[in-house]
Amino acid sequence: MRLTEYTEFDATGLATLVSAGEMKPAELARLAREAHDDVNPIVNAVIEFYEDAETVAGADGGPFHGVPFLRKDLGCSEAGRLQEKGSRLFKGNRPSTDSYFLQRARAGGLRCLGRTTPTELGEAGMSESVLNGITANPWDVQRTAGGSSGGSAAAVAAGITPIAHGSDGGGSIRIPAAWCGLVGLNPSRGRISGGPMGQDAAFGFVRPFVLCKSVRDMAAALDVFSGPHPGDPFIIIQPDRPYVQQLTRPTGTLRVGVARTEWGAVDLDPEILQAVDRIASLLQDMGHRVSEMLSPYDQAEKMKISLANTILGANSLEETAREMGRPLDADTLEPITLKLIEFGQGSEPVDIGKHLDNMRKFRFDVGQAIEPFDILLTPTMPTVAPPHGGIYSTTNPALSAEEFLEADNSFYQYLGVFNVTGHPSVSLPLAHSANGLPIGLQIVGRFGDEATLVRISRDLEEACSWRGRQPRVIAGAQER
């Protein structure tokens, strides 16, 4: 198989070849390495491609039998392998435990061949860090791939692997999916275990999953990674059938709430709004009941939650640094991260009871606001991918901690709300700008109802197929 052929397959397609005996896992690993060598010097998405990649373990069989996979260097641990979390503070860190997520990846047939660049500690939505440098967007290398799962997104978009691990605590899967032209689901709180070390991380805001090319890969990944583990704080309602079976089931008529207005201080680009309107019209033509909705939350209330989480995060990082015997200073942390730590140190201690009540009230208010709808259609991001740097990067020394948090909440205005509430939401690459950059639109489902998201995503993929679009930087381009 040539690279040009390899990059055309999604993960399900490659697994079918392996199961049929037409390809071997080691052959796919060699192709992934060849793709890495071809494009990674341009996009800088993969920190480390394992030297023993061709012999990495994975189950024979499973939905992703023999498929190359990459691990975001944050959240998902792999025993004995480096996990530096995008930060000089964790340089050389090697966990001793495999996360449940990685165990399920192997059981599903995936072969983890390396690790991808995150932003420092997952704090920012841009794809750059002092430790790992800038990760470029394969559609335009002068622009960000998004974060904090930007390395995984850039690797999949550029054809290194067809699927890669991500995690989402405020948009960190959906942002890079939108800007790199991929499918990026943030599942319901509790759907995917973060254990054994990070069950319900950050009050359940952070959930691990994948970035991929197709809806069928998303459905298969839900089957692979879903399910409770010991220590999980609660067991979410389980599906009545495999998610891949939802791909052949009817969608029915849905009540669709459409976000046509800003939910934060950053203006919505006209091209993004045009894409929302076009997909809203398409959904109406499919027979769904479509109506406009306003923002379901108060930005000031969301900011209260973000500030409290920042203070708690600063305290936690201080304790971790003490345990490692490492300082928190300009030699270990980026400018904004250090300011966030100093902000936490200088703030009044968080009243946990009040914080929990603020989150409860926020979830209740949002839940009431969106109850009339079965799904929501929103922009994923208010703009296409911006150039590297700017006010949203933790490497920017000019901002205060408060200014960074306010900018962060405003820019990711359609995303973080659903990390607080726990609703599942997926970014789909349903449009492109006039200059060819991907535009992702977000579909939000009811809590625990990934099945409806799979079906409506399938419908939109069939109506607006994105599989023929390719970025400027893709493995094997010289063969074309």
Domains of the chain: 3-479 (3.90.1300.10)
* Residue 471 burial (10 A CB sphere; 0-12, 13-18, 19+): buried
Q: How far apart are CA 53 and CA 39, in angstroms?
A: 18
Q: How far apart are CA 348 and CA 363, in angstroms?
A: 24
Q: How far apart are CA 111 and CA 326, in angstroms?
A: 33
Query: What are 148-158's pLDDT values in tens digits?
Result: 999 999 999 99
- Where residue 146 falls among pLDDT bands split at 50, 70, 90? very high
Q: How far apart are CA 206 and CA 199, in angstroms?
A: 9
What is residue 478's predicted lDDT score, i.e. its pLDDT?
74
* Residue 360 burial (10 A CB sphere; 0-12, 13-18, 19+): exposed
Residue 234: count of CB within 10 angstroms of its CB: 10
Burial 135-169 (b: 16+ CB within 10 A, else e): bbbbbbbebbbbbbbbbbbbbbbbbbbbbbbbbbb
Question: Is residue 72 among the annotated active site residues?
Answer: yes
Supply the mean pLDDT for the chain. 96
Identify the active-site residue in 77, 129, 148, 425: 148
Cα 359 from chain centre:
22
- Where residue 389 falls among pLDDT bands split at 50, 70, 90? confident
By the 8 A CB rule, do 186 and 159 touch? no
Q: Return the higher-pLDDT residue of 202 and 101.
A: 101
Closest residue by Cα to residue 137 from 426, 474, 476, 478: 474
Question: Is residue 465 among the annotated active site residues?
Answer: no
Identify the active-site residue in 87, 99, 127, 172: 172
Query: What's the pTM?
Result: 0.98
Query: What are 187-217's pLDDT values in tens digits?
Result: 999 999 999 988 888 899 999 999 999 999 9
Question: Is residue 427 among the annotated active site residues?
Answer: no
Residue 397, pLDDT > 90, answer: no
Residue 479, pLDDT > 70, answer: no
Average pLDDT over residues 325-350: 96
Q: How far apart are CA 223 and CA 203, in angstroms?
A: 24
Burial 453-470 (b: 16+ CB within 10 A, else e): bbbbbbbbbeebebeeeb
What is residue 480's predicted lDDT score, i.e. its pLDDT?
61
- Where residue 398 falls among pLDDT bands split at 50, 70, 90? confident
Identify the active-site residue in 72, 85, 213, 339: 72
